[in-house]
């Protein structure tokens, strides 16, 4: 049994063991994707903040989604980029691994909570358009944003708190990064408390999915009644459905593969399944929302063209 209270306890990350060649290519590609992810998300966040015409509930929820995307990408990319340039793929349990677990876990929980809140916003906008401004007040928006973060932080803190207290019987992680489940598999003692916590997470997500499904049943029913409703659905709800579906399935694939796959399986497939929900949604969300939401796209282009002209004239 290994004492995990020591800051010297190190994990070995085996996700890059098969990547013996072309490391510099993977590094350059990963760095480019990371820079693009941060740039497009940050650019849209700044656009929403600076443009008062975008200070509406839908755009504020999108801003929240983009900020979460930056947090998720920043929890994943820096460590793997360092490892691609290093021959030693180790990570300190207390100083680094727990921090990475916390932020990746929080990113996943916050993404789901934010998408659930956005489903509620779309339900009110399409099913109760005349009451929208009365229901989605500034105070209501603040409360929903606070819920999406505080509930996620609570879920994450409980999970990481349970993890840090357990003794470990190994230090090998078959992934590119530290994940809570990979550390849980190294526990020496009984994992019944983690099973209870896992059941709580399942119940929480099933409840959110049920709420989203019921919301979209009402949304689709209302949208089919008028041409305006169908247009609004395609512009505002379709991007949300794409984001929700992709994130849910990519996260589900990662969880199922991590829990039920054999360690002898292809490492490349393990890596793809493990990092898909961290790489694609943060880059996909600003692209699809930027393309489908006309007002956001126009304001984004207008603002940055104006800035570029000002720089050239200066």
pLDDT, tens digit, for every residue of 175-228? 889 988 888 888 887 778 888 888 888 899 889 999 999 999 999 998 888 888
Adjacency order of strands within the sheet including 172-173? 90-92, 10-13, 172-173
In a domain, 296, yes or no: yes
Question: How far is residue 208 from each of residues 113, 117, 202, 214, 248, measured CA to CA in Å?
Answer: 8, 9, 10, 10, 11
For residues 33 and 256, the model is more confident at 33
The CATH code of the domain that includes 217 is 1.20.1070.10
The answer on pLDDT for 262 being more than 60 is no
The answer as to whether 4 is a domain residue is no
The answer as to whether 2 is a domain residue is no
Distance CA 279, CA 69 (A): 9
- 265: in domain: yes
* Distances, alpha carbon 121 to alpha carbons 206, 214, 238, in Å: 19, 13, 14
Which of the 8 DSSP states describes residue 85? Answer: T
CA separation for the pair 88, 152 (Å, rounded) = 33
Please state the φ and ψ torsions of residue 2, each to the nearest 5 degrees. -110, 135
Of 309 and 5, the one with more pLDDT: 309
Residue 284 has φ and ψ, to the nearest 5°, of -75, -40
> Taken in order 85, 91, 92, 96, is the CA torsion positive or negative?
positive
- Higher pLDDT: 269 or 47? It is 47
Residue 237 lies inside a defined structural domain of this protein: yes
Q: Tell me the range of 106-110, 199-203, 266-270 where mean pLDDT is highest.
A: 106-110
**Total domain count for the chain?**
1
* Residue 155 domain flag: yes
Banded pLDDT at 113 (limits 50, 70, 90):
very high
Classify residue 218: in a domain, yes or no.
yes
Contact, 278 vs 107, CB < 8 A?
Answer: yes
Sign of CA dihedral 93, 96, 97, 103: positive
pLDDT of residue 6: 43
Assign 3 a pLDDT band (cuts: 50, 70, 90).
low
Q: Is the separation of the CB atoms in 89 and 16 below 8 Å?
A: yes
* pLDDT top residue among 215 and 89: 215
165-178 tens-digit pLDDT: 888 888 888 888 99
- Highest mean pLDDT of the ranges 14-28, 206-220, 259-273: 206-220
pLDDT of res. 93: 81
Q: Lowest mean pLDDT: which of 15-24, 91-100, 231-240?
A: 15-24
Residue 3 lies in a domain: no
Q: What is the domain range of residue 133?
A: 10-313
Tell me the mean pLDDT in the region 133-156.
94
Q: Report the pLDDT value the prediction gives residue 193, as an integer from 0 to 100.
A: 82
């Amino acid at each position: 049994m290994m004492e995990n209270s020591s800051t010297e306890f190190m994990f070995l990350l085996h996700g890059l063991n098969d990547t013996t060649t072309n490391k510099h290519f993977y590094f350059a590609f990963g760095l480019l994707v990371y820079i693009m992810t941060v740039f497009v998300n940050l650019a849209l966040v700044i656009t929403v903040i600076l443009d008062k015409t975008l200070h509406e509930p839908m755009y504020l929820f999108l801003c929240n989604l983009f900020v979460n995307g930056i947090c998720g990408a920043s929890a994943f990319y820096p460590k793997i980029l360092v490892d691609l340039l290093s021959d030693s793929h180790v990570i300190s349990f207390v100083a680094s691994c727990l921090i990475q677990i916390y932020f990746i876990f929080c990113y996943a929980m916050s993404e789901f909570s934010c998408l659930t809140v956005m489903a509620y916003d779309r339900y009110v906008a399409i099913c109760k358009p005349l009451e929208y401004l009365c229901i989605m007040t500034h105070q209501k928006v603040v409360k929903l944003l606070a819920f999406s973060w505080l509930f996620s932080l609570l879920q994450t803190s409980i999970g990481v708190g349970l993890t840090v207290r357990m003794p470990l019987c190994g230090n090998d992680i078959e992934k590119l990064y530290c994940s809570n489940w990979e550390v849980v598999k190294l526990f020496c003692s009984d994992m019944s408390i983690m099973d209870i916590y896992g059941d709580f997470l399942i119940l929480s997500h099933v409840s959110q999915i049920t709420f989203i499904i019921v919301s979209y049943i009402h949304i689709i029913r209302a949208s089919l009644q008028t041409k305006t409703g169908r247009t609004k659905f395609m512009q505002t709800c379709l991007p949300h459905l794409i984001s929700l579906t992709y994130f849910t399935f990519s996260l589900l694939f990662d969880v199922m593969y991590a829990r039920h796959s054999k360690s002898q399986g292809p490492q490349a497939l393990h890596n793809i399944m493990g990092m898909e929900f961290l790489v694609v949604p943060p880059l996909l969300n600003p692209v699809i929302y930027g393309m489908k939401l006309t007002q956001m796209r126009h304001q984004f282009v207008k603002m940055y063209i104006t800035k570029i002209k000002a720089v050239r004239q200066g």
